[in-house]
């Protein structure tokens, strides 16, 4: 089954770009990470607000808190699709490097996705 690619874009034929299921799951993780709660009208609690954390004073405590926030948000919103195996957050100057290790429930495949607070896959 094909899913809309994220971010929304057009393919070479001028149609909505699509993605297979496993890359789509990585797109969904990115949406949870970089959506702030309150940003979506019909889902006001969706997201974890990672970008808001960047403005807090950098510390190990902030990184641990952010790690917990990410893991709980992923379990809440994507728990039916993935099992979150590990989340690590590395604070680098004014950015975060987030690594999410997860298992796709449907296929059983283990994946690792890396993101930075600039909103792009690392």
Residue 5 has pLDDT above 70, yes or no: no
Q: Where are the domains of the chain?
A: 3-121
pLDDT at 121: 53
Residue 54 has pLDDT above 80, yes or no: no
pLDDT at 119: 47
Residue 34 has pLDDT above 80, yes or no: yes
pTM for this predicted structure: 0.76
β 18-19/3-4 pair status: antiparallel
Residues 6+ apart with CB under 8 A from 43: none
Q: Higher pLDDT residue, 93 or 31?
A: 31
Report the CATH architecture of 3-121. Answer: Roll (3.10)
């Amino acid at each position: 089954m094909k899913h809309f690619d994220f971010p929304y874009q057009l393919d070479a034929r001028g149609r909505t770009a699509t993605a297979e299921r496993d890359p789509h799951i990585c797109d969904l993780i990115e949406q949870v990470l970089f959506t702030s709660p309150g940003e979506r009208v019909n889902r006001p609690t969706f997201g974890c607000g990672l970008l808001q954390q960047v403005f807090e004073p950098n510390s190990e405590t902030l990184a641990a808190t952010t790690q917990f926030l990410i893991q709980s948000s992923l379990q809440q919103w994507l728990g039916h699709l993935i099992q979150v195996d590990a989340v690590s957050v590395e604070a680098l100057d004014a950015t975060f490097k987030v690594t999410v290790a997860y298992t796709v429930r449907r296929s059983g495949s283990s994946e690792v996705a890396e993101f930075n607070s600039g909103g792009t896959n690392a």
